[in-house]
């Protein structure tokens, strides 16, 4: 894959339906201060990605963050990182396929949901089994659609705010950022400190997938050069897209009206007279869902392959095809997504209800790679002081930045358990990790016996 494709893969993994669908919940909890929430979690992710980049620069390889967890923390940490990744992306893939079938009904309202789902899954599997290059090309275009739309929306939004474009040339101004107090009595932090921390859990879920850079690093040309460029640019771009888009939304509309106007992205386009706004945004969120599922199949299939080669998953999945891709692992992940999608269709009362529940349950497992990256980097430095002497891409402010990011991520998880809206989902994710740990300990005990 090319450096451009790797950057788009990281962008595609992180700019998904979490932005388009998650914005309403985060704004409800904390109001306009959600801008700071996205910026703050972005800072934490910058620290995580710099820690990963420091290690990748020395040893780029597929599945790298799991390798580092195994080598520098404990084999259990690597095991959990890999299985958490597999679980996260089967669940995310499931929810994204459900979302995609709903988006297709915008144009074909009478189309059977299960047929659309099967077609989507087959298309994504074919893109992944042909070659890493084919996957990279498809993901490049998926991400491009999202990025271009968000940029256009930000430009139009700024024109509305500062020039009054589409608003009779009367600038909206910035007053919506503070003039509508919430339960806290504050117009910016409308839900107080508690609401601010609640919002960070969904924000963290929106950013998950950015570590895909580590998994794809072993399949690029000039990996060291690509890693440095990608880590530096991807974080800045994601902050611009997320913080920029959210700033436009909460500045144009009073935060307490966003729940009643439908999609704030659609409304922003409609406000300036783009009559096809609904179709445009529907197309973008469709590609966002397909992109999330596509990235998930790529990422988790590599992890399942690695688990198989290390005897932590059935040997069947360790096969490499003539196109040099783990095709059986790809089929395995796709089968998991298909089974979950089928259950969704048969059991769920509504696609929206199932999407929220399923997507939220992936948040805690999705954070496991971040925790193990931060821990592994601390121990990586202690074990390899000689490699850091002339290292050109070290984590800034080590080790304080590392400790700070780790502590704040723990706080986000704590507030997920406190928040009644996320408590059940985060508990489900925690149970998966506990079961995986028990299985690992039993297997190890038997191996030693």
Segment 288-331, tens digit of pLDDT = 778 778 777 887 888 888 888 888 888 888 888 887 788 899 99
For residue 218, pLDDT over 80 is answered with: no
HSE-up of 179 (CA within 13 Å, CB side)? 10
Q: Two tokens at 211?
A: 């570590």
Segment 225-256, tens digit of pLDDT = 777 777 777 677 777 778 888 888 888 878 88
Give a three-class secondary structure readout of 4-58.
Answer: HHHHHHHHHHHCCHHHHHHHHHHHHHHHHHHHHHHHHHHHHHHHHHHHHHHHHHH
Give the mean pLDDT of 360-376.
85
Residue 27 sits at the vertex; the CA angle it makes with 159 and 14, to the nearest 5 degrees, is 80
Whether the ω angle into residue 295 lies within 30 degrees of 0, i.e. cis, is no
What predicted TM-score, i.e. pTM, was given to this entire model?
Answer: 0.81
For residue 62, pLDDT over 60 is answered with: no
Residues 6+ apart with CB under 8 A from 204: 41, 363, 367, 409, 412
Q: Is 258 exposed, middle or buried (0-12, 13-18, 19+ CB in 10 A)?
A: buried
Residue 364 sits at the vertex; the CA angle it makes with 63 and 416, to the nearest 5 degrees, is 160
Distance between CA atoms of residues 213 and 139, nearest Å: 13
For residue 349, pLDDT over 60 is answered with: no
Out of 1-10, 107-116, 179-188, 409-418, least confident range: 1-10
Q: What per-residue confidence (pLDDT) applies to 131? A: 67
Average pLDDT of every residue of the chain: 79
pLDDT interval class at 146 (50, 70, 90): confident
Give the mean pLDDT of 164-187.
82
Q: What per-residue confidence (pLDDT) applies to 40? A: 92
What fold, for 3-448?
Amino acid/polyamine transporter I (1.20.1740)
For residue 142, pLDDT over 90 is answered with: no
Q: Is 159 exposed, middle or buried (0-12, 13-18, 19+ CB in 10 A)?
A: middle
pLDDT interval class at 61 (50, 70, 90): low
Q: What per-residue confidence (pLDDT) applies to 352? A: 52
Q: What are the boundaries of each domain within the chain?
A: 3-448
């Amino acid at each position: 894959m090319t450096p451009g494709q790797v950057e788009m893969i990281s962008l595609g993994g992180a700019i998904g339906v979490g932005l388009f669908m998650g914005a309403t919940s985060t704004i409800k909890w904390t109001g306009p201060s959600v801008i700071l929430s996205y910026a703050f979690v972005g800072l934490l992710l910058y620290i995580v990605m710099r820690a990963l980049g420091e290690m990748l620069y020395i040893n780029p390889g597929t599945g790298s963050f799991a390798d580092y967890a195994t080598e520098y923390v404990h084999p259990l940490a690597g095991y959990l990182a890999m299985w958490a990744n597999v679980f996260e992306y089967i669940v995310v893939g499931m929810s994204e396929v459900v979302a995609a079938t709903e988006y297709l009904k915008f144009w074909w309202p009478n189309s059977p949901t299960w047929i659309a789902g099967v077609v989507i899954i087959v298309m994504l599997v074919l893109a992944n089994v042909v070659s890493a290059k084919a996957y990279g090309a498809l993901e490049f275009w998926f991400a491009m659609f999202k990025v271009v739309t968000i940029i256009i929306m930000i430009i139009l939004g700024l024109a509305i705010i500062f020039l009054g474009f589409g608003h009779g040339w009367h600038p909206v101004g910035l007053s919506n950022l503070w003039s509508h107090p919430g339960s806290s009595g504050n117009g910016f932090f409308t839900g107080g400190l508690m609401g601010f921390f609640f919002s960070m859990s969904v924000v963290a879920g929106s950013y998950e997938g950015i570590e895909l850079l580590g998994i794809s690093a072993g399949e690029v040309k000039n990996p060291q050069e690509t890693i440095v460029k990608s880590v530096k640019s991807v974080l800045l771009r994601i902050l611009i897209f997320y913080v920029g888009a959210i700033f436009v939304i909460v500045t144009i509309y009073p935060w307490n009206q966003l729940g009643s106007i439908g999609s704030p992205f659609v409304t922003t386009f409609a406000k300036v007279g783009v009559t096809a706004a609904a179709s445009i945004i529907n197309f973008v969120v469709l590609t966002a869902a397909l992109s999330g599922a596509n990235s998930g199949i790529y990422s988790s299939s590599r992890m399942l392959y690695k688990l198989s080669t290390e005897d932590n998953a059935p040997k069947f999945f360790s096969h490499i095809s003539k196109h040099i891709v783990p095709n059986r692992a790809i089929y395995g992940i796709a089968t998991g997504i298909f089974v979950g999608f089928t259950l969704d269709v048969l059991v769920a009362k509504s696609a929206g209800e199932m999407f929220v529940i399923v997507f939220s349950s992936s948040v805690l497992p999705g954070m496991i790679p971040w925790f193990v990256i931060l821990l592994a980097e601390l121990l990586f430095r202690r074990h390899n002081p000689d490699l850091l002497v002339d290292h050109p891409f070290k984590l800034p402010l080590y080790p304080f930045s590392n400790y700070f990011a780790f502590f704040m991520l723990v706080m986000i998880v704590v507030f997920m358990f406190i928040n009644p809206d996320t408590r059940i989902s985060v508990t489900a994710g925690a149970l998966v990790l506990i079961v995986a740990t028990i299985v690992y300990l039993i297997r190890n005990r038997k191996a030693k016996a």
